[in-house]
Amino acid sequence: MIIGVALAVFQQITGINTIIYYAPTLLASAGLGNSAALLANVVNGAVNVLVTIVAIRLLDRTGADSRAVPSHQGQKLEHLEQRLPGREPQ
């Protein structure tokens, strides 16, 4: 239970939420004006919402299993590749 909660907290702290939260500050310090940085962040949020809606509709239409199977096969291939002789862990 503790590991699960710690992983969830770590994911939130280091994930896209952090990037979105600090985006106006980062863009302003990169040379954009404050209003341009805020506008860029609003556009980023709008694109995020639109793509999420498209993804939800796509998953509803095709089913989550059709997307999960190729992903799991890719993970299996990567795990097998890491076990090849002469392959040093990174």
To the nearest 5 percent, what fractions of the chain are helix, strand and coil? Answer: 85, 0, 15
17 CB-side CA count, 13 A: 7
Global confidence as pTM: 0.55
Helix (H, G, I), strand (E, B) or coil at 85: coil
Tell me, what's the pLDDT at 47?
A: 93
Q: Using an 8 Å Cβ cutoff, are 34 and 28 in contact?
A: yes
**Whole-angstrom distance, CA of residue 16 vs CA of residue 38:** 17
Q: Using an 8 Å Cβ cutoff, are 27 and 40 in contact?
A: yes
pLDDT in tens, 6-39: 888 887 777 777 788 888 888 888 888 888 888 9
Mean pLDDT of 54-76: 80
Tell me, what's the pLDDT at 90?
A: 60
